[in-house]
Amino acid sequence: MSVTSMNRRALLAAGAAATFVAASGPALAQASPERAAVLDAMKRAARFMSEEAAVDGGYVWQYLPDFSRRWGELEASPTMIWVQPPGTATVGHLFLDAYHATGDAFYYEAAKKAADALVKGQHPLGGWNYVIDTAGEESLKQWYGTVGANAWRLEEFHHYYGNATFDDAGTAEASQLLLRVYLEKKDRKYLAPLNKAISFVLESQYENGGWPQRYPFVQNGGLHGRADYTPYITFNDDVAGENLEFLIYAYHGLARNSRGDAKILDAINRGMDIFVKTQQPQPQPAWGLQHFPDTLKPAGARTIEPQAFVTHATGTNIRSMLGFYRLTGDRKYLARLPEAMDWLDQVATKPPLNTPGRTHPTFVLEGANTPIYIHRRGSNIANGQYYSDDNPTNLIVHYGSFRNVDTPALRAEYARLSALPVEEATQGSPLKARPGSLNLPKYFTLQDVDVWDMSSDARRPTRPHANRAAEVMAGLNARGYWPTPLTTTSNPYKGPSPTAVTGGEYQMTRVGDLWDTSPYQTDFPVEGVSTSVFIRNMGDLIEALGA
């Protein structure tokens, strides 16, 4: 986000783009391709995605060129589309950006098709699951019972809830796309699903201001012998921050009078205040990834996320509250931040473990500032277990037991804001502006946009280098996609995982035995189609048009 520090979209796109650039060969001499050539390349790439890769207007993350296999966070069936960025909604945002850059109605229609795909898969109450199966609910349940149930390390896919999630920005990204598509031409076809999305965010919010991970609540008894964590107040993956960003966009975009929407404004204020309420008292004035909705104490979630204080969540929440002060000028958001920063210094990684990028242990026990670390044993979901202890060796590699928290940068920003007059600190705040006086950013995929980009183009702070457009155009193949080494793959589903541990050592691997359907990095990448590369390269061409 934005109001806080979420930049999932940008990281996904930039990471995939780096893979493509490395494989695309030396830079070409041409620095300024003709506008007509840029437009032609954009159209060819967009046609391939919308006419060949899309399923009923929706997208996954990557494909084999013959579409015999395709993946989102897990391998998808041929009828599935992905909601998590950089899936269907992110591609829809890109098409709207291309429409703004070119004026070509082709892109507006492609964006509408992506929005239509999301509307078809929208939960009756208004949110979205990670995925949509265009073949229907029974087909989706079958996928959950096979591919999802055997993805050892991806516990969020082990159970079909039948509800919607705020995790990984899926609901927020889809809601923002509906808002943009509606505002583009005020097509009332999108107003009802947009209002449902807004109602979903408002209805799911606890009175104290927090949001659960999933809603509406279902009784599933939990997973792997643990209580169901999805109703807990969630900060992980910027759930609260993404919801606040969407509500602020809606507050301005749909302002019906000079006073705005009182319900939305109230939800925004309560959504910021939950950060204050959940900061724990001394001697551990920090946060967890999740908190119990009644006691507001830190809660556990997946088996890789024990009940503990979490250093990177604490750092993110500090940065969020600095942003809330900029939005409101209310010093309650600054009041206890020094305590949290002092705590981060107290629990910082001690020698010899404090190597570059590992400034802090991820998890710190309640009641004692003792780090705990995550391990696993076994070979698959049927026989494997995750566990935590104080041993910092033989750690799992797919979830970091150490984090990089830049406490000096947090202190510097706190000192800067604290010293400013409140009028200066809140200059440009969307919450200080008259409702409806700000427009949404013109572009959503050129950088990780946030509410401070409203009424701006939101172009990248640094434009691509002069030869970049020529490189991108030269890399587009005859079919209309950018060939990309797919550095991750997965084992195809081959039946239920055996209860007997199979040969091999899987403590420190991203995947278990051959029955584990979790994605993993491969030493033998094959050429494929990447949605992230498409988004990033199209953005480079949009920037070239602007230049």
CA distance 333 to 336: 8
Cα Rg for the chain, rounded, in angstroms?
A: 23
For 8-546, which CATH class? mainly alpha
Residues 462-521: pLDDT tens digits? 888 989 999 999 999 999 999 999 999 999 999 999 999 998 999 999 999 999 999 999
Residue carrying the six token digits 């516990």: 155
Residue located via tokens 């009332």: 188
Q: What letter does residue 453 receive in the DSSP assignment?
A: G
- Shortest CA distance to 313 belongs to which of 271, 360, 375? 360
Whole-angstrom distance, CA of residue 63 vs CA of residue 531? 8
Q: Measuring CA to CA, which residue among 94, 40, 32 is closest to residue 468?
A: 32
**Beta strand 298-299 pairing with 290-291:** antiparallel
Position 452: which residue type? W
Peptide bond preceding 392 in cis form (omega within 30 of 0)? no
Q: What does the pLDDT read at residue 259?
A: 60
Helix H segments across 404-467?
407-419, 422-425
Q: Which residues of 55-93 are buried (b: 16+ CB within 10 A; e: fewer)?
A: bebbbbbbbeeeeebbbbbbbbbebbbbbbbbbbbbbbb
Concatenate the DSSP letters of all residues of 83-117 into one string: -STTSHHHHHHHHHHHHHHH--HHHHHHHHHHHHH
Nearest partner of 254 among 177, 185, 183, judged by Cα? 183
Q: How much is the pLDDT for 257?
A: 59
Q: Hey, what are 197's tokens?
A: 């999305």
- Closest-CA residue to 249 (of 307, 172, 318): 172
pLDDT of residue 18: 35
C-alpha torsion sign, points 53, 55, 57, 58: negative
User: How far apart (Å, rounded) are the C-alpha atoms in residues 444 and 1?
Assistant: 12
In the chain, where the domains are located: 8-546
User: Which residue in 131, 168, 128 sits closest to 7, CA to CA?
Assistant: 168
User: Within 329-386, where are the H helices?
Assistant: 337-346
Cβ atoms 159, 139 nearer than 8 A: no
Q: Could you tell me which of 6, 123, 127, 135 has the C-alpha nearest to residue 58?
A: 135
- Using DSSP bridges, classify how beta strands 164-165 and 131-133 pair: parallel, antiparallel or unpaired: unpaired
Phi, psi dihedral angles at 353 (to 5 degrees) = -80, -15
Question: Which tokens belong to 430?
Answer: 């969307």
Low-confidence ranges of the chain (pLDDT < 70): 1-32, 221, 256-260
Angstrom distance (rounded) from CA 437 to CA 455: 9
**C-alpha count within 13 angstroms, C-beta hemisphere, residue 290:** 22
Q: The dihedral of CA 420, 423, 429, 432: what is its sign?
A: positive
- pLDDT for 196-254, tens place per residue? 999 999 999 999 999 999 999 987 767 777 789 999 999 999 999 999 999 999 999 99
For 346-373, letters b (16+ CB in 10 Å) and e give: ebebeeeeeeeebbbbbbbbbeeeebbb
Other residues' Cβ atoms within 10 Å of the Cβ of residue 443: 25
Average pLDDT value over all residues in the chain: 93
- Report which secondary-structure segment, H or E, holds 223: none
- Residue 91 near residue 48 (C-beta atoms within 8 A): no
Token pair 């169901």 is found at: 228
Partners of 371 in beta bridges: 364
